[in-house]
Structure 1
């Protein structure tokens, strides 16, 4: 009972540290101070579909200056520097013609040097289609995203929802006037931006004079798909003094809907872990203890049978499994993913992955994945050598290229679909070359170095000798057969994470910020424990049933949770999305497949090594003639 209390205390202590980490801003990011009248730049980002309270209808982002939108372009268009992760997630940030000056209110300004934009009928169809799909305009002012003020229906609390609507989805009206309100904080006679909200509206100006005064007489603006449309873009600016400090300016953006759900998720996961821990403890403390005691009896008694139960398979349990090359390569890739995930979550919990650094999470994950190529090589080599593998060159090559090549191939295929859709999410050729460069110049050499150290190490000693002739495996009961046992084993790890998975998928597809890394870290710890315990539990049952083919079974048992994640993504698609286009469907299921595959390899590796440690321990504890 005391161990359970200490486990719970540890989890909640980590959560306390992680929530406190939110109060500190990312080290190295300094606030920008403005003088009165100083220009505050407005940067524009890709247009993305919004989910809001409605279902998502597309997953394809578009460049703000994509020609069919006909937004006003500055005299000198300049792209802004972006991180690798930001580019991969479809960000395309440019300067804009908006002119905002600190503390200078502006009731009405007209965009574009020519003052009027003509939208042809064909482009009007494109814009109306994006309005019906609830696309949002995304701006950045002093690094803060322009937001719409929303209200949480459960708590009635106001929060900032990133982006604002391209148009009125219900009435198909284009928003061409923007009321910009910027909150600022005074600091030592300087001023800092601490909040940006935009209220868009639709206004049909009949001429330039009306646009200049922001006084429309034509009502609202609906784009005609039969003839060209004359559109004036206007905006107003209001500056508002705020008590919000610069260090906490992201708090309004990081709104958590019903935090009790996260707590329920955590409690649900802990209950699963405690249940499995109790089951495993019962086996280890009772059944195994009795088994080992009986196996090690040295007094000759007629009623004592030396060989029964799992001891019967001692001569086969360390027999090399089939397809050892593939298994060792997958285990190497899984170890690489495990270390990448662990270190990334540690950095995130400590507050080093601020949302102000766009794409920082993805960038850090990619960098750590490349750096831990050495772990992949070392792990794969050790496993392969232990089971007597001799094709070491092939092992090194496959470890460095097989799994990354599968992911990269899917990525390139999905990129072609984005290119065909003329989406800003299409990764430029230069970025693809940069990724290939990281792969070949960092990951592959480190993998080779790790393999070199792995093959130089002596084989992992087996506690028992392996018989030359394989033992026949008796018929297994239904629930211990491969497919049923894998499906049963995969349910529990998935059950430990599925609620948090919902919020992560909302963040990925709904353009929301996920910043509850404290919960994510604890769920990952619980996932690791659950995968280990459920695999050990089923492994013990299989050994007692004289089935010694544990290697692939252990990998696939916990790895089956990846299958459940893909099934969950199908349910999410059917219930939360209203996607009809082929490109969006392919993109969604392509990335869902990648996520499920990576989760399969990660959890499978955790299950395998937990089972390996368990089997070595129990067979080292018995005496075998």
Structure 2
């Protein structure tokens, strides 16, 4: 019976694996004649950061509310996860009717009346290069292309809202609206039993656009000719020409694109919309490989990713050699020489006040203390020869663990840095194994927010440990600062930014209800978790023990070389980790700021580069702090955090360069979105790497001064 029960539980777990849904891995099959819902989402552009819900546009066909065969209503909103809301998705069921296996040469959708001001809005969106996102079976509607060698087809997610042509006579731009959409659904037989029952799975969703002018002949609302359309639908409304001469009328027609903004805003015109549907069997694409078509054109980037890894490994290898040389040769030699000198001279260096400069030697001492000091110097005269070997970092054993200024702020920053670190490890791990994939829309942001909130317990624990090491006594206050300082800064920036985006009526704006939910998750879940971790780290777990005692009187720090002063050291050392991630940073920036229709998918490469980055930051910080200690400067607490996060300055400078030389963002709000989001990302990155630098330096110094065993 006991053996049976032992095998029962694993068997139940294994049996449930087949029922466990991982987004992007669950196959949905359709039968012949079954309704296939088409959902509309939003429009977006690479030239601006403002997105708009498709059905919020005044010049497109609004939903009629009719019921489809599947029971879904036109205009019905689809439930969204937190990540989808944050990325500006607003998904609704459309009026377009798709029936599996049934072609439709043309269907009239609507004839949308628009005012002059609505047409002006359409012109602005087409001018900015806006792209439309529709969704079928979780696949975004794509524009189809072929590679340069014409051997493979690939997709670019989305399709153009319209296009621009330049007048041959005047050279001025004219703007046209795409008002006919040809939808091609590619399918194949479903695998397994579903396929045996006639099931089909969608492996491709392509949209081809046409601009059909009002003068084209139509039957039942559909254009008669769709293959060769000569008259396109121009975004232009003619002005009244009463009282104008023929020459003036002709001149007005030749320059009509300059007069769209003139005239009464209440002037009306209609835009006809229609669509065609074709189902085509395609057995060349497996269902589990259907997203590969969106990445074919990016496969050449794999070589660059490998180049980035090789570049990172070379830099990390050189640093590792330097660190090994310091640890195995320089430090071991110093320690060995110190111990031998101590044994031969019979000297034990005490952890009390160290020798000071003559200027400060008797400053602040009474007569009795000065006489005792002179007596001590005379007694130790025989040990002068041994003391000559005790130089550099060995002189700081009584000061190296002295409490830093503003330690009550450093501890919360270290705690928040560990929170971000655990979140990043979780996100990259889940993405690398495929759970967070492009088909899981909004999954990356949703999991990122969830992991950040849950990692609050680590934030409180590490913050309390550091705070206790600094001699803090009010762990509740420290926990509150840790839970509110950095998350509160991010929340305040997002809220202020949202005020500007709300004014633009953009779907990029986070709804007030979502902001309220985020605030409740922060205050009701994260804050208690931080407090719990802080309580355990402070009350139940002992403080980190330092190997040496701190003297009562601090040493005087000599004049420092220019290259190890705070600002210079941060800039110089921060450049090294930046060079490690520079190439991969190109792909991340392109995915986030330029290819909004694309998807960053090479998380395996990102994970390797991130691991190399952490090792590099740790090694750079150790080398920098060791050089600083050799210069008899024991103010390393804040310095190690700043050196570790120094590459964030270079990332922000790179983002400024990227804005001016790579992007074509227009408008004040879009530019503000770019710089504020870049600043927030650099703060998160700097907090993470700064914490790695601080913990690495702390571990190194404890190991270093623990090795000499000073009494």
- Taking structure 1 as the reference length, the TM-score comes to 0.92
Matches within 5 A, 1:578-597: 578-597=664-683
Q: 1:136 aligns with which of 127, 131, 146?
A: 131
Instruction: Tell me if structure 2 keeps the 8 A contact 1:295–1:623.
Output: no
> The residue matched to 1:108 in structure 2 has which SS?
strand
> The residue matched to 2:42 in structure 1 has which SS?
strand
Q: Does 1:281 align with 2:324?
A: yes
Structure 1 residue 372 displacement after superposition: 0.6
> The residue matched to 2:89 in structure 1 has which SS?
coil
Deviations 1:125-166 (A, max 9, x none): 111111111100100001110001134458874311100000
Q: 1:544 aligns with which of 625, 630, 636?
A: 630
Flag structure 1 segments of 5+ consecutive residues without an equivalent: 1-24, 50-55
Residue 108 of structure 1 is matched in structure 2 by 106
Structure 1 residue 257 displacement after superposition: 4.8
Residue 180 of structure 1 is matched in structure 2 by 183
Residue 158 of structure 1 is matched in structure 2 by 153
Q: Report the count of equivalent residues.
A: 593
Residue 13 of structure 1 is matched in structure 2 by none
Q: Does 1:410 align with 2:420?
A: no
Instruction: Tell me if structure 2 keeps the 8 A contact 1:69–1:123.
Output: yes
Between the aligned partners of 1:446 and 1:40, the Cα distance in structure 2 is 44
Between the aligned partners of 2:59 and 2:649, the Cα distance in structure 1 is 40
Structure 1 residue 612 displacement after superposition: 0.3
Residue 356 of structure 2 is matched in structure 1 by none
Deviations 1:416-470 (A, max 9, x none): 1110111011111111121112112211111010000011122211101101111
Instruction: Tell me if structure 1 keeps the 8 A contact 2:417–2:688.
Output: yes
Q: Does 1:57 align with 2:47?
A: yes
Residue 200 of structure 1 is matched in structure 2 by 209
Matches within 5 A, 1:193-342: 193-206=202-215, 209=219, 211-215=221-225, 219-224=231-236, 225=260, 228-243=268-283, 244-255=285-296, 256-258=298-300, 259-297=302-340, 298-300=342-344, 304=386, 305-342=388-425
> The residue matched to 2:516 in structure 1 has which SS?
helix
Structure 1 residue 386 displacement after superposition: 0.6
Deviations 1:153-185 (A, max 9, x none): 588743111000000134411001111111101
> The residue matched to 1:169 in structure 2 has which SS?
strand
Instruction: Tell me if structure 2 keeps the 8 A contact 1:146–1:197.
Output: yes
> The residue matched to 2:63 in structure 1 has which SS?
coil
Q: Which has the larger displacement, 320-329 or 458-467? A: 458-467
Q: Does 1:33 align with 2:119?
A: no
> The residue matched to 1:238 in structure 2 has which SS?
strand
Q: Does 1:573 align with 2:617?
A: no
Between the aligned partners of 2:343 and 2:476, the Cα distance in structure 1 is 51
Between the aligned partners of 1:150 and 1:333, the Cα distance in structure 2 is 45
Instruction: Tell me if structure 2 keeps the 8 A contact 1:26–1:354.
Output: no
Instruction: Tell me if structure 2 keeps the 8 A contact 1:180–1:237.
Output: yes
> The residue matched to 1:299 in structure 2 has which SS?
helix
Instruction: Tell me if structure 2 keeps the 8 A contact 1:223–1:229.
Output: no
Kindly name which structure, 1 or 2, has the bigger radius of gyration based on alpha carbons. Answer: 2
Alignment CA distance shift 1:400-1:154 (3 Å):
farther
Between the aligned partners of 1:381 and 1:96, the Cα distance in structure 2 is 53
Between the aligned partners of 2:147 and 2:525, the Cα distance in structure 1 is 46
Structure 1 residue 299 displacement after superposition: 3.3
Between the aligned partners of 1:481 and 1:447, the Cα distance in structure 2 is 35
Between the aligned partners of 1:308 and 1:154, the Cα distance in structure 2 is 67
Between the aligned partners of 2:561 and 2:152, the Cα distance in structure 1 is 55
> The residue matched to 2:344 in structure 1 has which SS?
coil
Deviations 1:97-131 (A, max 9, x none): 1001111111111103xxx1122111111111111
Residue 145 of structure 1 is matched in structure 2 by 140
Between the aligned partners of 1:153 and 1:294, the Cα distance in structure 2 is 66
Alignment CA distance shift 1:69-1:315 (3 Å):
farther
> The residue matched to 1:595 in structure 2 has which SS?
helix
Structure 1 residue 186 displacement after superposition: 1.1
Between the aligned partners of 1:369 and 1:156, the Cα distance in structure 2 is 44
Between the aligned partners of 2:557 and 2:149, the Cα distance in structure 1 is 58
Structure 1 residue 328 displacement after superposition: 0.2
> The residue matched to 1:237 in structure 2 has which SS?
strand
Instruction: Tell me if structure 2 keeps the 8 A contact 1:133–1:169.
Output: no
> The residue matched to 1:78 in structure 2 has which SS?
coil
Residue 545 of structure 2 is matched in structure 1 by 461
Deviations 1:475-525 (A, max 9, x none): 111101111011011111111112111211222222120111101111110
Between the aligned partners of 1:569 and 1:155, the Cα distance in structure 2 is 35
Alignment CA distance shift 1:156-1:588 (3 Å):
farther
Q: Does 1:535 align with 2:578?
A: no
Instruction: Tell me if structure 1 keeps the 8 A contact 2:476–2:531.
Output: no
Structure 1 residue 210 displacement after superposition: 7.0
Instruction: Tell me if structure 2 keeps the 8 A contact 1:558–1:604.
Output: yes
Between the aligned partners of 1:169 and 1:205, the Cα distance in structure 2 is 18
Residue 42 of structure 1 is matched in structure 2 by 38
Structure 1 residue 27 displacement after superposition: 6.3
Deviations 1:514-571 (A, max 9, x none): 1111011111101100110000000110000001111100000021111111111111
Matches within 5 A, 1:439-518: 439-456=522-539, 457-509=541-593, 510-511=595-596, 512-518=598-604
> The residue matched to 1:197 in structure 2 has which SS?
strand
Structure 1 residue 67 displacement after superposition: 3.9
- Taking structure 2 as the reference length, the TM-score comes to 0.81
Structure 1 residue 249 displacement after superposition: 1.2
> The residue matched to 2:292 in structure 1 has which SS?
coil
Between the aligned partners of 1:515 and 1:355, the Cα distance in structure 2 is 7
